[in-house]
């Protein structure tokens, strides 16, 4: 099993080593920040002259040279004055020092091999002996604004890859090459699924007819699964008065809200960045009793978030995202069983797509910055314990992440492994005791008295756009029959076969099979190639032999030529495969 702490320490140590090496090779270089990331590490620099990927080998060589003397990391607590004196030459470190001091954080220096850096820790104790020298490499050079703000200076970011072993590094590089072939930003436009427009704006995907089919099938599938489990579907507007988000706390604590606008009467309005405040008001619009709980409001609707352009990434991170959102209003004695139901729902949906390996992240409060969150210590401790116990009961591996909770409650984030071994964060479940207090929600209990419900916020797919981006890459664009925008293509060999082929085409369409008819006056090889390039699951070839036998020849994208088959058997095969989500 991967030792996450050790991997983090390896990567963080390498970020320090990279900073030391660049500063030695390039006098005057100023290192900014250098964290560990999912596949390695990076370090940002303010350089006197630009560098490129061609410079990475000499930097990497210097890292190996310096590593020999890095036999310890020495920690030293310093005052803000001492820290600013040490980094008087580096305005980036100075800014961080002043910020941390203002927040009351302890300031620490870590020194190894004579290189001093401002850092909170998390390194190998003896890098010269512990660092796997064949399991890292510098990867690429990019630009990055200081602190991700376009108003700040553009810095040079050097990325590195790092793992515990060379085998893991090599496997990751192979995986990444395969991922390039599956990149949804490349496959989506090639397969006619979605498009972006500079005139419409970044982060605002538009779906072409084939992409529209995928969205519809995904949403309908999840909707039906929720209806089976007693969800009620609601509908809310896309804007609200700012007073709603003042009440919920989002305007003060959530920094991705869209800018405030005013209507003709001067009323301040804002595009919704989340649906929960609207759903809370729906709950409060009529009285409730203990008998009707749990009450499960569901809605698949778009929210709008003011993401920075540098953080947008195809369908994976957008400004307009559609959530399969649910809010569960529950009695406190129902919380555990409701979480179990949500996880079971997620499990059953994901199995259809071949997702079976999960990693769970439980996001809890930052104990050092409690003022960032709504609610009492008692409520937070209670809700965090419930989530942890729920995940333990589910039996999946999990990690606890400090400081990643929403401001109103802890949450479960579920990562799934795709066809080439990558982990994607999809489902989110949040337990909320605070907003029911904030919105004064209540129900009448069996004792005739008012009681406060809890709320579970859950999105199974998460963002439909993100989920679709993941699916495109998971399937490499070759969707299963039930989901495929075009399920079968009918191909007459020559024009004199068109009449019979057209009858087959019409029969399939009448039975709700998504079918294309290719009657172009071109050769058979070109038509088949087109079906393969568009990753259509099946194509039907019709020539003299098929007409004579009153059958069709069926060919499969995944299994090759399946031979001749009657129209009745063909329809049965397709109908069963679609019904069983194969």
Distances (CA, A) of 99 to 42, 75, 84, 94, 286: 22, 20, 12, 9, 47
Same domain, 22 and 130: yes
Half-sphere exposure of 291 (CA within 13 A, CB side): 4
Report pLDDT for 367: 73
pLDDT greater than 50 at residue 1: no
Residue 495 maps to a domain: yes
325 in catalytic set:
yes
Q: Which of 323, 430, 435, 487 is catalytic?
A: 323
Return the number of other C-beta atoms located less than 10 Å from residue 407's C-beta: 16
What percent of the chain shows pLDDT beyond 70?
A: 99
279 in catalytic set:
no
Of 174, 196, 173, 172, the C-alpha closest to 184 is: 196
Q: Which of 226, 272, 327, 422 is catalytic?
A: 327
Quick one: 74 exposed, middle or buried, by C-beta within 10 A (0-12, 13-18, 19+)? exposed
Query: Which domain-ending residue is among 182, 198, 215?
Result: 182
Report pLDDT for 276: 94
pLDDT greater than 90 at residue 419: no
Of 355, 305, 323, the C-alpha closest to 218 is: 323
Residue 482 maps to a domain: no
Report pLDDT for 374: 72
Same domain, 168 and 192: no
What percent of the chain shows pLDDT beyond 90?
A: 76
Same domain, 159 and 253: no
Residue 480 maps to a domain: no
Query: Which domain-ending residue is among 182, 217, 238?
Result: 182
Report pLDDT for 63: 97
pLDDT greater than 60 at residue 195: yes
Under 8 Å between Cβ of 508 and 488: yes
pLDDT greater than 80 at residue 47: yes
Which of 81-90, 108-117, 347-356, 409-418 comes out lowest in average pLDDT? Answer: 409-418
Between 357 and 516, where is the model more confident? 516
Residues pairing with 466 in the sheet: none
pLDDT digits (tens, 9 = 90+) for 246-279: 999 888 777 888 889 988 888 999 999 999 999 9
Residues with Cβ within 8 Å of 538's Cβ and at least 6 positions away in sequence, in order, are 481, 487, 488, 489, 554, 555, 556, 557, 574
Report pLDDT for 2: 56
pLDDT greater than 50 at residue 17: yes
Q: pTM of the entire structure?
A: 0.83
Under 8 Å between Cβ of 146 and 111: no
CATH of the domain at 153: 3.30.980.10
Residue 326 CA to residue 462 CA, distance in Å, equals 10
Between 249 and 468, where is the model more confident? 468
44 in catalytic set:
no
Residues pairing with 327 in the sheet: 297, 457
Q: Which of 305, 497, 527, 535 is catalytic?
A: 305
> 98-124 as b/e, with b when 16 or more CB fall inside 10 Å?
eebbeeeeebbbbbbbebebbbeeebb
119 in catalytic set:
no
Residue 236 maps to a domain: yes
305 in catalytic set:
yes
Same domain, 295 and 423: yes
pLDDT band of 397, cuts 50, 70, 90: confident
Report pLDDT for 148: 85
Average pLDDT, the chain: 92
Q: Which of 276, 278, 418, 518 is catalytic?
A: 276
Residue 549 CA to residue 565 CA, distance in Å, equals 9
Report pLDDT for 296: 97
Same domain, 173 and 212: no
Strand order in the sheet with 560-565: 515-517, 488-492, 538-542, 552-556, 560-565
Report pLDDT for 9: 94
DSSP state of 405: S
43 in catalytic set:
no
Q: Which of 117, 139, 325, 413 is catalytic?
A: 325
pLDDT band of 375, cuts 50, 70, 90: confident
Same domain, 375 and 341: yes
Query: Which domain-ending residue is among 182, 213, 243?
Result: 182
Residue 483 maps to a domain: no
Q: Which of 272, 411, 497, 535 is catalytic?
A: 411
Q: What is the gyration radius of the CA atoms in the chain, in angstroms?
A: 28
Structural domains in the chain (count): 3
223 in catalytic set:
no
Same domain, 562 and 497: yes
Residue 303 maps to a domain: yes
Domain that holds residue 176: 4-182
pLDDT greater than 50 at residue 190: yes
Report pLDDT for 391: 84
pLDDT digits (tens, 9 = 90+) for 73-109: 999 999 999 999 999 999 999 999 999 999 888 999 9
Q: Which of 457, 474, 497, 551 is catalytic?
A: 457
């Amino acid at each position: 099993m991967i030792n996450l702490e050790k991997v983090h320490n390896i990567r963080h140590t390498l970020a320090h080593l990279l900073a030391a090496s660049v500063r030695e090779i390039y006098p005057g270089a100023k290192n900014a920040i250098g964290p560990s990331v999912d596949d390695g590490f990076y370090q940002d620099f303010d350089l006197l002259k630009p560098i490129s990927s061609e410079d990475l080998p000499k930097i990497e060589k210097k890292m190996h040279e310096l590593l020999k003397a890095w036999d310890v990391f020495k920690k030293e607590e310093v005052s803000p004055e001492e820290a600013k004196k040490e980094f008087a030459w580096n305005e980036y470190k100075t800014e961080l020092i002043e910020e941390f001091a203002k927040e009351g954080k302890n300031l620490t220096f870590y020194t190894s091999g004579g290189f001093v850096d401002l850092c909170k820790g998390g390194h190998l104790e003896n890098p010269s002996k512990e660092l796997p020298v064949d399991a890292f490499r510098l990867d690429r050079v990019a630009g990055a604004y200081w602190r991700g703000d376009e108003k700040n200076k553009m810095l040079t970011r050097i990325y590195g890859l790092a793992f515990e072993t060379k085998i893991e590094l090599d496997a990751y590089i192979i995986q990444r090459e395969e991922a390039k072939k599956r990149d949804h930003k490349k496959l989506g436009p090639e397969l006619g699924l979605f498009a972006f427009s500079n005139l419409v704006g970044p982060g605002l995907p538009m779906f072409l007819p084939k992409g529209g089919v995928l969205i519809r099938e995904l949403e309908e599938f999840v909707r039906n699964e929720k209806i089976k489990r007693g969800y009620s579907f609601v509908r809310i507007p896309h804007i609200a008065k700012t007073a709603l988000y003042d009440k919920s706390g989002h305007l003060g604590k959530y920094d991705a809200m869209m800018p405030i606008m005013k209507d003709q009467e001067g009323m301040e309005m804002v595009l919704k960045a989340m649906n929960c405040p609207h759903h809370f008001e729906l709950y409060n619009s009529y009285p409730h009793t203990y008998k009707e709980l749990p009450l499960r409001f569901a809605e698949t609707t778009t929210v709008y978030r003011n993401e920075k352009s540098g953080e947008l990434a195809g369908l994976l991170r957008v400004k307009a995202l559609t959530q399969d959102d649910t809010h569960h209003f529950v009695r406190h004695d129902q919380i555990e069983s409701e979480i179990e139901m949500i996880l079971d729902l997620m499990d059953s949906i994901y199995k259809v797509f071949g997702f079976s390996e999960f990693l769970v992240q439980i996001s809890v409060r930052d104990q050092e910055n409690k003022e960032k969150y709504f609610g009492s210590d008692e409520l937070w401790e209670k809700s965090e314990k419930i989530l942890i116990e729920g995940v333990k009961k589910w039996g999946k591996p999990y990690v606890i992440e400090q400081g990643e909770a929403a401001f109103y409650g802890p949450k479960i984030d579920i990562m799934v492994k795709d066809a080439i071994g990558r982990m994607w964060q999809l489902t989110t479940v949040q337990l909320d005791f605070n907003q029911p207090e904030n919105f004064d929600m209540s129900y009448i209990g069996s004792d005739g008295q008012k009681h406060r419900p809890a709320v579970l916020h859950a999105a199974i797919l998460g963002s439909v756009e993100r989920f679709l981006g993941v699916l495109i890459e998971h399937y490499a664009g070759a969707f299963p029959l039930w989901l495929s925008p075009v399920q079968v293509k009918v191909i007459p060999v020559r024009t004199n076969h068109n009449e019979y082929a057209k009858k087959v085409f019409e029969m399939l369409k009448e039975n709700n099979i998504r079918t294309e008819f290719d009657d172009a006056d071109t050769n058979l090889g070109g038509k088949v190639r087109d079906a393969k390039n568009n990753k259509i699951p099946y194509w039907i070839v019709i020539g003299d032999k098929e007409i004579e036998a009153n059958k069709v020849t069926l060919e499969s994208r995944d299994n090759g030529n399946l031979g001749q088959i009657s129209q009745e058997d063909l329809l049965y095969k397709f109908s069963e495969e679609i019904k069983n989500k194969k």
